[in-house]
Chain A
Amino acid sequence: MANLVIAEHDHGSLKAATLNVISAAVEIGGDVHVLIAGHNAKAAADAAAQVAGVSKVLLADGAAHAHRLPENAAAQIVAIASGYSHILAPATPYGKAVAPRVAALLDKAQISDIIKVVDADTFVRPIYAGNAYATVKSSDSVKVITVRGTAFGAAAKTGGFSSVETLAAVGDTALSSFVSAEIVKSERPELTAAKIVVSGGRGLGSGDKYREVLTPLADKLGAAMGASRAAVDAGYVPNDYQVGQTGKIVAPDLYVAIGVSGAIQHLAGMKDSKVIVAINKDPDAPIFSVADYGLVADLFEAVPELAAKL
């Protein structure tokens, strides 16, 4: 049995989610190989080689992988798929774009967003926005899986000494091409990997208020910043702030929900947080039903006070 982990990386380093996928692969058992499909991505491959639990790194370095287009990535994975019992990718926009494409090319089912490995064929995954957990058993010879990062610990970045093997990179499928990207660089920790998340909802009233009220608190706590779908739809913050069923799934040590009502779809994205704090002026807001500590108060007074007293 051998596992192929599809690394998410920026060519120079591994994205945090890759470390959680490696942990899931280690739990399944057998060798763990990590594929870096990138361009000038030796640094990312070297980083992967040091991760504990990795037995081999495969580096497919070529122009076709410069923008990590899913059509090219899938072709690369399929080219090396034989011999693997499990192919795993993170349940991130990248992994979700690539893994089903790989599965269909191999004529296999894909198992989405697993939160637990029961055995090599059996996995637990949330359905209905996390309102139910399904245990599913695959009858396919190859299991193509996406892994929910928050459900598995991160593999240690050091301690491994695996070799890096260079593969021939596939050519460009020419089905798609990269045009442009607007990626916001932030000094804050990544939302899905942060220990503390400060999240805002429609109760904040505007994007300016979101920043004015939440930023000092997030700065004090060294927290990542998130938002409910309502706040994103209202244009307070960009889409990648969204926590929820169809946004990001987070499970920090501390989640502070401010002016968030707590729709089922939002709860689906944060209810596995260790400690949840809710600050909302509506005592009946559903968010209080999952909060360890609820403060019924005007957020415009309570949040600045909290930031000042910390």
Chain B
Amino acid sequence: MHANSQYRGLRSRKLRAEFSIVDSVLALRKLPAFGDIVKVLVPVKRVVDYNVKVRVKADNSGVDIANVKMSMNPFCEIAVEEAVRLKEKGSATEIVAVSAGVTQCQETLRNAMAIGADRGILIETDAELQPLAVAKLLKAIVDKEQPQLVILGKQAIDDDSNQTGQMLAALLNWGQATFASKVEIEGGAAKVTCEVDGGLETVSIKLPAIITTDLRLNEPRYATLPNIMKAKKKQLDIVKPADLGVDVTPRLATLKVEEPPKRKGGVKVADVAALIDKLKNEAKVI
């Protein structure tokens, strides 16, 4: 894309078309003049939609997700979008989306492909998957696919664990940049601005590497209807955890799931004076 823009306005439309073909061929050959071009793996998780307020089951065994709207985890969506933007900038060659879980995760992968991932891999299982097991499954996929970059959401909004990316980085002995708000690929490294306490910190991680996304990295595009149709035809491979030689047995047992304590309903006060009175004399917090 960026190489193409160099020629814009310099040549006739016909010539430009020819040059863009040349550019694509050069891009595929990874010529250094075009900067670093990486293959990107983007793991995506199917979760309860962020607008749904989940209910705890009456027997305290978990939350009730039957007949609840499921969507791609918002942070994973940001990860897919970032990979697509890297590809549009000419920094990425191929984007492979991966998901682990039940058959319906195919929908999540189709969604990722509608945003712009080139193909998908589902690690299909009905078993409960905890972050360490997911990281091991992803490592097996990385070993096979050999991407130079894996971009993941920083956390899934169901279990709120915030672990998988860092665990995958550890298992691969790769560098990690967590909570990214800006990503640039240059000189065999990724320069990543990370959200930390008190502000921002920029680190350079040697490729191959792991990046986890924060909210402000980008705003994911809406998948267009033609792209949704195109995504249906893209390649989607299915493997099983056993094919990858990974033991996914959970390490944590969930003993019970409960409603958090409810806050007592408060009162409305008439005006500022009444508010100050309540804070001083009733709540005694000022």
Contacts and interface: CB of A to CB of B under 8 A. Distances in A.
B252 A70 contact: no
Contacts, number: 266
Interface residues of A, number: 90
Contact of A139 (B48, B200, B251, B259): B251
Given A100-B167, A101-B166, A239-B214, A179 B204 contact: yes
Interface string B248-286: 001111111111100111111101110110110001011
Interface of A: 15, 67, 69-71, 74, 92-94, 96-105, 107-113, 122, 126-140, 173-184, 186, 196, 221, 229, 232-233, 238-240, 245-246, 253-254, 264-265, 271, 274-277, 283, 288-297, 302, 305-306, 309-310
A306 B166 contact: no
Nearest to B130: A109
B284 to A, nearest CB: 9
B158 A277 contact: no
A134 B214 contact: no
Interface of B: 48, 50, 53-54, 56, 63, 75, 130-132, 135, 154-155, 157-171, 173-179, 181, 191, 194-206, 209, 214-216, 250-260, 263-269, 271-273, 275-276, 278-279, 283, 285-286
Contact of B206 (A175, A179, A181, A246): A175
Given A133-B258, A136-B254, A275-B283, 11 more contacts: A96-B166, A96-B178, A104-B166, A135-B258, A179-B204, A182-B200, A183-B201, A239-B199, A293-B266, A295-B272, A297-B272
Contacts of B161: 110, 112
5 cross-chain pairs, A with B, having the tightest CB-CB distances, nearest first: A175-B175, A109-B251, A104-B167, A100-B166, A104-B170
Contacts of A137: 252-253, 255
Contacts of B195: 93, 239-240
B163 A112 contact: yes
A136 B160 CA distance: 14
A253 B279 CA distance: 11
A101 B179 CA distance: 15
Nearest to B280: A310
Given A110-B131, A176-B176, A276-B266, A131 B254 contact: no
Contacts of B254: 134-136
A154 to B, nearest CB: 16
Nearest to B174: A175
A274 B173 CA distance: 43
Contacts of A289: 263, 265
B160 A127 contact: yes
Contacts of A180: 201-202
Nearest to A137: B253
Contact of B272 (A229, A292, A302): A302
Contact of A109 (B131, B179, B276): B131
